[in-house]
């Protein structure tokens, strides 16, 4: 552990471990296995990188995405760590050179995809190499119930069979109880120590809005909160991704599409721009994001409802990895609920899988319709209790108005029943509001007792009510019947007046007041002089990054630059105390950043004297 602490300070630039990093590192140094659940941005990578450096041999990291490997290897090389990857982007000569370095003991860490690892050639190569440990990153990919399932992950138990003496660590930021059990079972980790950190990301503010015109609401959010920031906007379909990207471009933002249907070269180019430029927005399907290490993503927005809380947590977790304030913003509507239910019901999966999918969607809908603290509900889903409301979600900051919707809901359910459970939302609203057109007369519905009994609510209010009734399971959508609504068994007590129903009141979205805790309160909002220094440091970082062809945050994170602004070091020794400045970076970049700080300070001091 003495050696590990020295590496932590000199290589990574941190004075102390975060909980529970120290115990995880100790476990691996002693040769034992570990299963680690830690939120995105919580320092998972350090849990295997550091013991790989402290133990003899090379640490082998199984990683699911090429982009993630390249990103992490570039970051490690900036620290002076001998890191490499083996993937399809390498020319044969480059791959041979990496393999020879591995066999010669010239690598500290090797990143490799599960598909390549499982080939007999690679397994034979590893048999001849000195190995420190195996790290299985994004371990939730082992779960067939999950949103990122990779079948190759279910074969990684081979590592334990072939190398029983090499410690293994499986890591993920997203795993409910079912997924945890599956990771243990499939990877043979029954004897591994389990480390489950808090899933809470206190720097992320959660906001969920409902109703129409989601795109315009997104724009108001961006204008108000993130006029120049980098972020991700998730959409459900490829068509919507491209339309939204073009729309944002027309409004003056740098917005790039990303989905599996784009040519590989275009996807790669767009991803690289997102990583290497400031203020770029990526509009994407879920094909984008897993393992993206960009720490200064200031917002993640959803223009459609995610399929599960796991997916939502995984995707929103890509915001604010640097610990600075970030937003998770979402808009959803009735059509999202209907479409996701339809996708679940019409999939080729067996009935058990469909049942699990429906359960996960119900939990996601429950989070959306909640009137209490969203963070408490989100953490409860992962088995964690938060005693008090968070004070940093929309429901805490602007408590929603509620209303007794019992009578209105009974009218809606009665209308579904009286019209034969054969019609969709729009037609039912017309009946409730008393419209008399040719279609309603043809069916004779103008003579029903439910015709015109709902004139007290506007069409938009009825639409919200129907969405909430579907979300809560009182109604279901018959997709074969062109979206007609049917009563469920759950609707019976409500329809018969045996229970009451309290719902969120639909209202115009209001800006959520700005009140949130930041993990680094001493680094508050800058005054004009500090803001100028911060921008000068960012400009130098960009210059250095472009010269080396790496993302700017690999040089230094925003959090490190902000600390430089607050501390304003004058010597290399003072610079050494800044979080994230290790010996290698100090030697390569320290003097350049000191010169920028000194150049800003001198005129300021002179102006103070005068």
The answer to whether residues 421 and 325 belong to one domain is no
Q: Among residues of the chain, what percentage have pLDDT more than 90?
A: 62
The answer to whether residues 408 and 393 belong to one domain is no
Mean pLDDT for the stretch of residues 293-300: 90
**293 domain residue, yes or no:** yes
Cis preceding linkage at 146, omega within 30:
no
The angle formed by the CA atoms of residues 443, 449 and 450, to the nearest 5 degrees, is 80
The answer to whether residues 312 and 260 belong to one domain is yes
**343 domain residue, yes or no:** yes
For the ranges 53-62, 99-108, 598-607, the lowest mean pLDDT is seen at: 598-607
The answer to whether residues 101 and 232 belong to one domain is no
The answer to whether residues 43 and 137 belong to one domain is yes
The answer to whether residues 268 and 328 belong to one domain is yes
CATH number at residue 209: 3.40.50.300
Mean pLDDT for the stretch of residues 241-256: 96
Domain end: 377, 397, 417, which one?
Answer: 397
Q: Residue 39: which region, alpha, beta or left (left: phi > 0; alpha: psi -120 to 50)?
A: beta
Taking only the tens place, the pLDDT of each residue in 337-396 is: 788 878 777 777 777 777 778 778 888 888 988 888 999 989 988 888 899 999 999 999
**pLDDT given for residue 290 in this prediction:** 56
**pLDDT given for residue 145 in this prediction:** 62
Structure tokens at 602: 């001198």
The answer to whether residues 25 and 135 belong to one domain is yes
Range of the domain at 111: 2-196
User: With bands split at pLDDT 50, 70 and 90, how would you rate the model's confidence at 527?
Assistant: confident
User: With bands split at pLDDT 50, 70 and 90, how would you rate the model's confidence at 18?
Assistant: confident
Taking only the tens place, the pLDDT of each residue in 469-521 is: 887 778 887 755 567 899 999 899 999 989 999 887 765 545 544 444 333 33
User: With bands split at pLDDT 50, 70 and 90, how would you rate the model's confidence at 438?
Assistant: very high
**261 domain residue, yes or no:** yes
Residues 6+ apart with CB under 8 A from 349: 357
The answer to whether residues 292 and 143 belong to one domain is no
**521 domain residue, yes or no:** no
The answer to whether residues 569 and 603 belong to one domain is yes
With b for 16 or more beta-carbon neighbours within 10 A and e for fewer, the 514-529 pattern comes to: eebebebeebeeeeee
The answer to whether residues 189 and 217 belong to one domain is no
The answer to whether residues 376 and 410 belong to one domain is no
Domain end: 376, 397, 418, which one?
Answer: 397
- Of the ranges 36-40, 295-299, 522-526, the best mean pLDDT one: 295-299
The answer to whether residues 272 and 380 belong to one domain is yes
Domain end: 379, 397, 415, which one?
Answer: 397
Number of domains the chain is built from? 4
pLDDT surpasses 90 at 130: yes
CATH number at residue 415: 1.10.10.10
**523 domain residue, yes or no:** no
**pLDDT given for residue 600 in this prediction:** 54
């Amino acid at each position: 552990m003495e050696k590990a602490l020295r590496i932590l300070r000199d290589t990574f630039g941190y004075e102390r471990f975060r909980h529970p990093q120290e115990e995880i590192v100790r476990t691996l140094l002693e040769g034992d296995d570990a299963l680690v659940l830690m939120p995105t941005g919580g320092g998972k990578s350090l849990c295997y990188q550091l013991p790989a450096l402290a133990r003899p041999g090379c640490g082998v990291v199984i990683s699911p995405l090429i982009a993630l490997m390249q990103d992490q290897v570039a970051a490690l090389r900036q620290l002076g760590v001998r890191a490499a990857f083996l993937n399809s982007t390498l020319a044969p000569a480059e791959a041979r050179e990496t393999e020879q370095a591995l066999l010669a003991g010239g690598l500290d860490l090797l990143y490799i995809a599960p598909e390549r690892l499982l080939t007999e050639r690679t397994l034979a190569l590893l048999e001849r190499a000195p190995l420190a440990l195996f790290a299985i990153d994004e371990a939730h990919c082992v779960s067939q119930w999950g949103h990122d399932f990779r079948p190759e992950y279910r074969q990684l138990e081979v590592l334990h069979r072939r190398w029983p003496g090499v410690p293994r660590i499986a890591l993920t930021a997203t795993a409910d109880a079912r997924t945890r059990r599956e990771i243990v079972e499939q990877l043979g980790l029954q004897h591994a120590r389990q480390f489950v950190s808090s899933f809470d990301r206190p720097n992320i503010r959660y906001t969920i809005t409902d109703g129409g015109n989601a795109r315009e609401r997104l724009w108001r959010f961006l204008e108000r909160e993130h006029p120049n920031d980098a972020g991700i906007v998730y959409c459900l379909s490829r068509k919507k991704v491209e339309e939204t990207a073009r729309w944002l471009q027309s409004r003056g933002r740098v917005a790039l599409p990303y989905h599996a249907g784009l040519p590989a070269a275009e996807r790669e180019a767009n991803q690289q721009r997102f990583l290497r430029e400031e203020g770029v927005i990526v509009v994407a399907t879920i094909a984008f994001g897993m393992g993206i290490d960009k720490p200064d993503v200031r917002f993640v927005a959803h223009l459609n409802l995610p399929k599960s809380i796991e997916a939502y947590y995984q995707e929103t977790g890509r915001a604010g990895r640097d610990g600075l304030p970030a937003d998770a913003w979402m808009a959803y509507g009735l059509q999202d609920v209907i479409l996701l239910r339809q996708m679940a019901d019409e999939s080729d999966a067996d009935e058990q899988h469909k049942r699990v999918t429906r359960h996960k969607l119900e939990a996601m809908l429950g989070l959306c319709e909640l009137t209490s603290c969203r963070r408490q509900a989100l953490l409860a889903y992962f088995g964690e209790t938060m005693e008090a409301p968070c004070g940093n979600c929309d429901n805490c900051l602007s408590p929603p108005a509620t209303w007794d919707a019992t009578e209105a809901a009974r009218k809606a359910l009665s209308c579904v029943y009286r019209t034969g459970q054969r019609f969709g939302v729009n037609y039912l609203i017309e009946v409730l509001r008393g419209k008399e057109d040719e279609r309603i007369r043809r069916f004779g519905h103008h003579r029903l007792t439910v015709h015109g009994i709902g004139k007290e609510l506007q069409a938009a209010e009825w639409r919200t009510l129907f969405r909430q009734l579907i979300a809560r399971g009182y109604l279901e959508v018959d997709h074969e019947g062109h979206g007609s609504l049917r009563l469920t068994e759950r609707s019976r007590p409500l329809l018969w007046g045996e229970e009451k129903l309290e719902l969120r009141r639909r209202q115009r979205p209001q800006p959520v007041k700005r009140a949130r805790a930041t993990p680094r309160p001493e680094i508050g909002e800058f005054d004009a002089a500090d803001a100028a220094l911060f921008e000068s440091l960012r400009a130098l970082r960009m210059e250095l990054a472009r010269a080396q062809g790496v993302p700017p945050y690999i040089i230094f994170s925003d959090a490190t630059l902000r600390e430089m602004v607050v501390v304003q070091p004058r010597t290399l020794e003072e610079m050494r105390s800044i979080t994230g400045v290790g010996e290698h970076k100090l030697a390569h970049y320290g003097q350049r950043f000191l010169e920028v700080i000194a150049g800003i300070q001198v005129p300021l001091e002179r102006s103070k004297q005068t």
